[in-house]
Amino acid sequence: DGFPRNRVQADLLSRWDTSVSFAIQFDVPDDVCTTKLLGRRQCSNCGGNFNVARVDRDGFVMPPMVPVEDCCPSPNWKKRDDDTSETIQIRMNVYHQETRPVLEFWSEQDKLLRFVPHRGIEDMDRLEKLVTTRLE
């Protein structure tokens, strides 16, 4: 998710009176994204969003993100209707088709920061350091 999501939006953004320091690409293999997307759950009781999928391959280590024991004693987890392998593959294809030109756009301007979150959310401290360094 983000803006711009396609080349037309990137061109439009470049015409606005704005200054973009850089864009961040979260570089994660499709199979890792698919595994995590298929593991998304929402608790009908507490409204919390969780992920039951574990990824431990190709340098990626992302444990499930489930509620702490006393958060929701009897979770009632629901899966999104559109979180199916088929729908995710279609969304991935659209993402690659529309995003490739945007990544090229920012890369040509030397404004693309590729970030590989091998540990998922646990790597956000590393991303913060990279962003801070890039802004200095």
Three-point CA angle 17, 21, 23, nearest 5°: 105
pLDDT tens column, 46-85:
888 899 999 999 999 999 998 776 666 666 889 989 999 9
Closest by Cα among 97, 110, 95 to 26: 95
pLDDT tens column, 80-134:
899 999 999 999 999 999 889 999 989 999 999 999 999 999 999 999 999 999 9
- Note whether 51 and 79 are within 8 A (CB): no
- Residue-level pLDDT at 76: 80
